[in-house]
């Protein structure tokens, strides 16, 4: 039995891994870590975490993370906290001889100007990220450089995954800080309750590939258990499932039976227009990988939100 320590174990993806972890109970014992147990920005607490748990594997998810507006308004925090906690986790994974580390990047840290879509893993450092999230993006890009340095100098099996827009139960539903999908669920719920318009920020035209948190969790654990995988793997639904923010808003409103009340507020930023990625590497490794449809995923996320409003991050 190997132990897997999951940093960010209380978050959206950490809880996605928890939901699918039973499938692997004969091979892996999971330990889910929250910031309340160990603040990973503090090196002495990170050392204590490794000393306490002595894990075989690390899945490093912990991050200071948020939607477009959190990224625009909190650049110093996004840069400093992420640099610190990523440095600590990767450094001590080497010191404590972790057998395999999977660290989480994001497709939103890839270059803004892409010569031809889709975006692939090799393009990560080929140009600046979108200006709205440059602080978060450069901190995250350093994870890839840091892991590569340990691979090259010491032969450590430190690799990265790059998910697209993730959503699901346990997401952050905070109206200012959250990502678009959970925020629109929360805002539509409030709009219907108070019989107000359901406001979607921006034009609704930008395109995104949304992946359900359990699919991300399953892909990460499969990658953990597979030998000789590439050193960065994009985790995404196919390009054909790219969808506009307006369509996502409509689907959410339909679940609340509130479609006729949508208003777009163009005074807000659209952020990056699109960042279409290829999931070819993922599907080459796992050709039978099945993704939960966005309709089903939204339904499950709304149901979780309605049943857990008292504990949800709002």
Residues in contact with ligand NAP by CB under 6 A are 8-14, 34-36, 39-41, 61-65, 85, 104, 106, 163, 165-166, 172, 179
Contact 248, 184 (CB under 8 A): yes
Sheet (strand 158-163) strand order: 28-32, 2-7, 57-60, 100-104, 158-163, 232-235
Q: Which residues bind ligand GDP (CB under 6 A)?
A: 67-69, 108, 165, 179-180, 183, 200-202, 206, 208, 245, 268-272
Which of ligand NAP, ligand GDP, none has residue 85 at its interface (CB below 5 to 8 Å by kind)? Answer: ligand NAP
**Least distance from C-beta 210 to ligand NAP, angstroms?**
9
Largest CA distance in the chain: 61
Our CB check for ligand NAP shows the closer of 132 and 165 to be 165
248: left (phi over 0), alpha (psi -120 to 50) or beta: alpha
The CB-of-38 to ligand GDP minimum distance in angstroms stands at 27
Question: Pick from ligand NAP, ligand GDP, none: which does 69 bind, CB < 5 to 8 A by kind?
Answer: ligand GDP
Buried b (16+ CB within 10 A) or exposed e, 211-242: bbbbbbbbbbbbbbeeeebeebbbbbbeeebb
Compute the Cα dihedral for 78, 79, 82, 84 and give only its sign: negative
Least distance from ligand NAP to the Cβ atom of residue 207, Å: 15
**Of 134, 162, 45, 185, residue with least CA distance to 7:** 45
Nearer to ligand GDP, 100 or 170 (CB): 170
Which of residues 8 and 204 has its CB atom nearest to ligand NAP in the complex?
A: 8
Alpha-carbon distance of 63 to 42, in angstroms, equals: 13
Partner interacting with residue 208 (select from ligand GDP, ligand NAP, none; CB below 5-8 Å by kind): ligand GDP
DSSP tag of 121: G
Q: Is 57 a catalytic residue?
A: no
* Catalytic hit among 57, 87, 92, 136: 136
DSSP H or E run through 235:
strand 232-235
Which of ligand NAP, ligand GDP, none interacts with 217 (beta carbon under 5 to 8 A by kind)? none
Q: Which is nearer to ligand NAP, 13 or 262 (CB)?
A: 13
- Shortest reach from residue 223's CB to ligand GDP, in Å: 23
CA 85 to chain centroid, in Å, comes to: 16
**How many other C-beta atoms can be found within 10 angstroms of the C-beta atom of residue 153?**
9
Q: Please choose which of ligand GDP, ligand NAP, none residue 11 contacts, taking the beta carbon within 5 to 8 angstroms, the exact cut-off set by kind.
A: ligand NAP
Q: CB of 237: closest distance to ligand GDP in angstroms?
A: 14
> Which residue, 11 or 297, has its beta carbon nearer to ligand NAP?
11
Active site amino acids:
136
């Amino acid at each position: 039995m190997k132990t897997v320590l999951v940093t960010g174990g209380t978050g959206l993806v950490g809880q996605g891994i928890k939901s699918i972890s039973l499938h692997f109970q004969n091979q892996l014992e999971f330990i889910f870590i929250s910031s309340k147990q160990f603040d990973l920005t503090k090196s002495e607490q990170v050392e204590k975490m490794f000393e306490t748990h002595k894990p075989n594997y690390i899945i490093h998810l912990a991050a200071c993370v948020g939607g477009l507006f959190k990224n625009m308004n909190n650049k110093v925090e996004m840069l400093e906290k992420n640099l610190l906690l990523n440095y600590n986790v990767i450094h001590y994974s080497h010191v404590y001889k972790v057998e395999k580390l999977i660290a989480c990047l994001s497709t939103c840290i890839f270059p803004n100007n892409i010569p031809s879509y889709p975006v692939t893993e090799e393009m990560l450092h080929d140009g600046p990220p979108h200006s709205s999230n440059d602080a978060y993006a450069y901190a995250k890009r350093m994870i890839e450089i840091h892991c590569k340095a340990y691979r090259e100098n010491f032969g450590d099996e430190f690799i990265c995954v790059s998910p697209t827009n993730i959503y699901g139960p346990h997401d952050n539903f905070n109206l200012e800080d959250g990502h678009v999908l959970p925020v629109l669920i929360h805002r539509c719920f409030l709009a219907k309750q108070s019989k107000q318009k359901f406001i979607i920020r921006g034009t609704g035209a930008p395109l995104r590939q949304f992946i359900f948190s359990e699919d991300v969790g399953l892909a990460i654990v499969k990658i953990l258990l597979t030998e000789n995988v590439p050193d960065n793997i994009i985790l995404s639904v196919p390009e054909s499932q790219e969808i506009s923010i307006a369509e996502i808003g409509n689907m959410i409103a339909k679940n609340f039976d509130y479609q006729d009340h949508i208003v777009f507020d163009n005074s807000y930023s659209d952020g990056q227009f699109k960042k279409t990625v290829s999931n070819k590497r993922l599907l080459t490794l796992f050709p039978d990988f099945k993704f939960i449809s966005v309709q089903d995923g939204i339904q499950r996320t709304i149901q979780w939100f309605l049943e857990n409003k008292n504990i949800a991050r709002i």
